[in-house]
Structure formats: C-alpha cells, structure tokens
Amino acid sequence: MKVGIIGFYGKLGRANMEAVNRDKNSSIAFGVSRSASEEGDDHIGYKVYNHISSVKEECDGIIDFSNRNNISSVVEYSLDKKIPLVIGTTGLTEEDEALIERASKEIPILLSHNTGFGVNVLLDIVREACKLLKGFDIEIIEKHHNRKEDAPSGTSKMIFDSMKSANENLFSNFGRTGPDSKRQVDEVGFHSVRGGTIISDHDVIFAGEDEVITISHHAESDRSFANGALKALYYLRTKKNGLYDMKDVLANK
C-alpha cells in the first residue's frame, strides 16, 4: 500500500512516516508539509511537497494529521483520485465536518480525533460508567504539549460525546472561572493543560459522596496514534464509501 502523509514534518507526521516504514506491506508515496520548500524536498524514494496540489505521484490512500486549514484541499484531492482518507486532524469546525460527511458519500473516510486503540476503548468505559454512576459529578482534565493549538482537545470532546450518549442531559462548561462558578446538575467541566512535551493525557473524574473514581488514558508516545491510523487506512481499503470511526476498526480486529 502506497501512503500519502499530510503534515509530514509535524510530530504526528513523523510518527506516521515511521509507522509506514515499519510496516513491510506499505511504503510512502509522498509527503505534504507547509514547511517544505516551494519546489519540494527530496527524500530517499519519495518527495515532500509544500501543497497537495503539487503532488504528481499516485497513492492508495492518505493519512492527514495536519491543520484544519488543509482539510478542503486534502478532501478535494482524495475525491478527485477516488482514494480512501484517514483524518486525525483536530480543531475542525462544523463546516469542516459537514464537508467531510458530504465527501464520504463518494469515498471511504475515517474521521477520529484520536486513532489510538486505547482511547477508543476508554470511550466505551466512560459511557458505561456514566450509566452506572448516576448523580456523580463529572470533570474532564486533558493535558498536551505546549505547541498544541486547539483547546479543549478533540479527544476530550469524544469522551464527552460518548457520555452524552448515555445521558442526554449532560452539558459542557469549558474552563470554569469567575465568582459565580458553582457547578450545576449534569454539568461536565473541561480543563485544558498545555506544557512541555506532554503527549496526550486524559482523566475523567466521577466524584460522588465520599468516593471518587478516575478513569485515565496516558499516551507514552505518538506511535499509538500512528499505528492506529495505518490500521485504519488498511481497513478503509476494504470498505465502501461512507464515514467511519475507530470503533469500526476495533470491531473488525
């Protein structure tokens, strides 16, 4: 499988490159990064372009962990080539997600703010906890490196959406502050920490009377996201047009 990697020079782009290189059944077709030179950068066996519109090579699928500003061009390229697309980019707007959903009617697309298998299992765990721990207060604390642009994290939003599927009355409160900040019934507080080289930590706190349960996920490196993204691309190659997520990949294991 020949893979195009968008956001090639970013942390996750490099992790995706390494995942492809480790896999004996895949290879890199090309990279795309806004940090590449206008004429493109030569690597051993492939080229890294400044924009996807400059790409000349063919590929079997694309992995995009870049910036939301690239979404429209990446989706357009994938539609034109009729190839599957894995999107792990965070900070997407409702307009971006609507574009992706429309495109998925013509090509297979997997959209996930976190392609690690562990986090996607955690989503099921917190949903069940939400059903069982009625009356418990819920807080989400997410921690990431100091270069992350969006807050709260896409993963924390996934966690909230999973819990809300168990209790539709839940509502979010981002960064509680001010003199009148007493929590309300069914409120879920979001708290974002940005510092150093933290990869990705998420804690979901269920606080009840005289007891607290904390469900946590800690990423040791970006490899878990990259390995999951590559498995997701393999999965998409066997699927019809549609919009998929990592739960579909997990169910297929």
Residues 1 and 4: their CA atoms lie apart, in Å, by 10
Is residue 113 a known part of a binding site?
yes
pLDDT band at 253 (very low <50, low <70, confident <90, very high): low
Is residue 238 a known part of a binding site?
no
Residues 126 and 123: their CA atoms lie apart, in Å, by 5
- Amino acid identity of 59? C
pLDDT 10s digits, 120-150: 999 999 999 999 999 999 999 999 999 998 8
Contact 89, 68 (CB under 8 A): yes
Q: Tell me the catalytic residues.
A: 144, 148
pLDDT number for residue 40: 87
Is residue 93 a known part of a binding site?
no
pLDDT number for residue 230: 97
Question: What average pLDDT is seen over the chain?
Answer: 94
First and final CA of the chain: distance in angstroms? 19
pLDDT 10s digits, 51-106: 999 999 999 999 999 988 999 999 999 999 999 999 998 888 999 999 999 999 99
What domains appear along the chain, each with residue ranges and CATH number? 2-115+222-251 (3.40.50.720), 117-219 (3.30.360.10)
Q: In the predicted model, what is the mean pLDDT of residues 192-204?
A: 96
pLDDT 10s digits, 146-165: 999 889 999 999 999 999 99
